[in-house]
Amino acid sequence: MSGVAPLLAFDQTLRAWVVAHRIGALDGIMWTLSAVGRGGLIWLLLAAILVVWGRLQRSAALSLVLAVLIGSLTADHVLKPIVHRSRPFVEAPKVRVIGGRPDDPSFPSGHATNAFAGAFVLSALAAAPAILWWLLAIAIAYSRVYVGVHYPLDVTAGALLGLAAGAIAVTVYRRWVRSAAPQA
């Protein structure tokens, strides 16, 4: 485990730097980003809006549901119990947390997992500028470090997990569409 110690020390230092450099005018924005990212609900809402606007097929929206489901289950029910990393506010209790203090383990970030799963699926399947999805995903992930409830490695791992969940869901969707298409 000694090879991991420098990485964890850097992770703690980077988190401390982010929290020490908060900008008061951004606190409410970061809290809002963190709140709307909970449970992947913003991504499901976006998918529903895109379906109504005709920018996303209903079946493609189901792939987003699948991505969020895969990501959430893996992050919250597999990895968090195995890794069981304490939240930053447990390790540094004097640091102010903006908003609530989650009581589950820290690694990986479920918010980042869902954000990157959602961004991946919408970028692949929705008729809209993909940069918007990625910027929203990055902002939600960063907000978790900013508000003091995650370390940078938590959100990085969550982002990678979300990308994998999104890739699985898009692959399943595309195979299903191909298999459902009339054979020529």
Predicted pLDDT at 116: 98
For the chain, which residues score pLDDT lower than 70?
Answer: 1-2, 181, 183-184
174 found inside a domain: yes
DSSP classification of residue 78: I
Predicted pLDDT at 179: 81
Distance CA 131, CA 175 (A): 25
116 found inside a domain: yes
1 found inside a domain: no
CATH number of the CATH domain containing 136: 1.20.144.10
Predicted pLDDT at 176: 87
pLDDT per residue over 23-36, tens digit each? 999 999 999 999 99
Number of domains in the chain: 1
21 found inside a domain: no
Sign of CA dihedral 147, 138, 87, 165: positive
Predicted pLDDT at 29: 95
> Does this model's pTM top 0.85?
yes
Q: Which domain does 73 fall in, by range?
A: 33-180
10 Å CB burial of residue 144 (0-12, 13-18, 19+) is: buried
7 found inside a domain: no
* Residue 103 φ/ψ, nearest 5 degrees: -105, 5
